[in-house]
């Protein structure tokens, strides 16, 4: 009989690893956010606005302006008179040249008119130059007079600048004066206080000594009273009945 073969036990593979059960963690309780107190910022101090001195427009001297205007007008008149003289001279030269070839009455009249115009132009130029010279002199006078106004303006500007400088230094000077006065006052007050304290101290010492004398007198009085109480009082002997009889016998 065939022996039944025992089946070899099937090899078991490695045990499957136990699945790790992950425990879901509870979310940590959120701490209430602490509100920070808002930090108050100190208001920024505005720097004091610097006072800017108003720029004054230069004062125009009316007399000088009028003189300069008159001078310009006179110079223009000289230019005009010079041009007129040159024109009259040209006309005179042209008519003179014509009169050399033509001796007609019309030409002679033109020549006389040209000569008269030339003389008139010369006189006008002389007058214009004299007026220009006078105008130039007036301008010089006005310039000299305006120097007085300029000096006044400069003086006023210096006074204003000086006043502004004093105003700017006022705070510093006040602080210095207050500090100096404070130091002097404190020194004088310290001396006065020292004298007052010494005087008051002397008065208090007198009061204290008087009170001390009173206390000592009171203590000595109390001690005397206590001493008197402690001394024994001497008692007188009692009178007996035999004493009167003896006295009677003595009398008899």
Condensed to tens digits (0 to 9), the pLDDT of residues 9-56 reads: 444 544 544 444 444 444 454 554 545 545 445 445 544 444 444 555
Lowest mean pLDDT among 59-68, 102-111, 215-224, 227-236: 227-236
Three-state SS string across the chain, please?
Answer: CCCCCCCCCCCCCCCCCCCCCCCCCCCCCCCCCCCCCCCCCCCCCCCCCCCCCCCCCCCCCHHHHHHHHHHHHHHHHHHHHHHHHHHHHHHHHHHHHHHHHCCCHHHHHHHHHHHHHHHHHHHHHHHHHHHHHHHHHHHHHHHHHHHHHHHHHHHHHHHHHHHHHHHHHHHHHHHHHHHHHHHHHHHHHHHHHHHHHHHHHHHHHHHHHHHHHHHHHHHHHHHHHHHHHHCCCCCCCCCCCHHHHHHHHHHC
Residue 149 backbone phi and psi in degrees, to 5 = -65, -40
Percent of residues, the chain, with pLDDT higher than 90? 43
List C-alpha distances in Å: 8 to 1, 2, 66, 101: 21, 18, 145, 173
pLDDT tens per residue across span 103-127: 888 888 888 898 899 999 999 999 9
Would you say 78 and 129 are in contact if contact means Cβ atoms under 8 Å apart? yes
Query: Using CA atoms, how far apart are residues 121 and 77, in angstroms rounded to an integer?
Result: 12
Would you say 89 and 41 are in contact if contact means Cβ atoms under 8 Å apart? no
Joined tokens for residue 48? 């004091």
pLDDT at res. 53: 47
pLDDT at res. 107: 84
Q: Can you give the residue ranges of every domain in the chain?
A: 62-221
Put simply, whether the predicted model's pTM sits higher than 0.85 gets the answer no
Q: Which residue has the higher pLDDT, 123 or 228?
A: 123
pLDDT tens per residue across span 127-144: 999 999 999 999 999 888
Mean pLDDT of 81-99: 90
């Amino acid at each position: 009989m065939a022996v039944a073969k025992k089946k070899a036990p099937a090899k078991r593979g490695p045990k499957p690893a136990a699945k790790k059960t992950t425990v879901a963690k509870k979310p940590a309780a959120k701490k209430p956010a602490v509100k920070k107190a808002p930090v108050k910022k100190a208001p920024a101090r505005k720097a004091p606005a610097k006072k800017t001195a108003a720029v004054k427009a230069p004062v125009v001297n009316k007399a000088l302006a009028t003189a300069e205007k008159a001078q310009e007008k006179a110079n223009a008149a000289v230019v005009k008179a010079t041009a007129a003289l040159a024109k009259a001279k040209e006309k005179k030269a042209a008519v003179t040249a014509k009169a050399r070839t033509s001796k007609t009455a019309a030409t002679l009249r033109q020549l006389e008119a040209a000569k008269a115009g030339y003389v008139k132009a010369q006189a006008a130029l002389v007058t214009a130059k004299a007026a220009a010279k006078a105008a130039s002199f007036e301008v010089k006078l006005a310039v000299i007079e305006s120097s007085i106004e300029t000096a006044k303006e400069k003086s006023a500007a210096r006074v204003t600048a000086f006043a502004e400088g004093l105003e700017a230094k006022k705070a510093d000077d006040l602080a210095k004066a207050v500090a100096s006065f404070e130091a002097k006052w404190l020194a004088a007050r310290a001396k006065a206080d020292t004298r007052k304290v010494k005087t008051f101290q002397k008065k208090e010492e007198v009061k204290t000594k008087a009170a001390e004398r009173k206390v000592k007198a009171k203590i000595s009085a109390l001690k005397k009273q206590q001493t008197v109480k402690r001394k024994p009082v001497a008692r007188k002997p009692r009178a007996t009945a035999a004493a009167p009889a003896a006295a009677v016998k003595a009398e008899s």
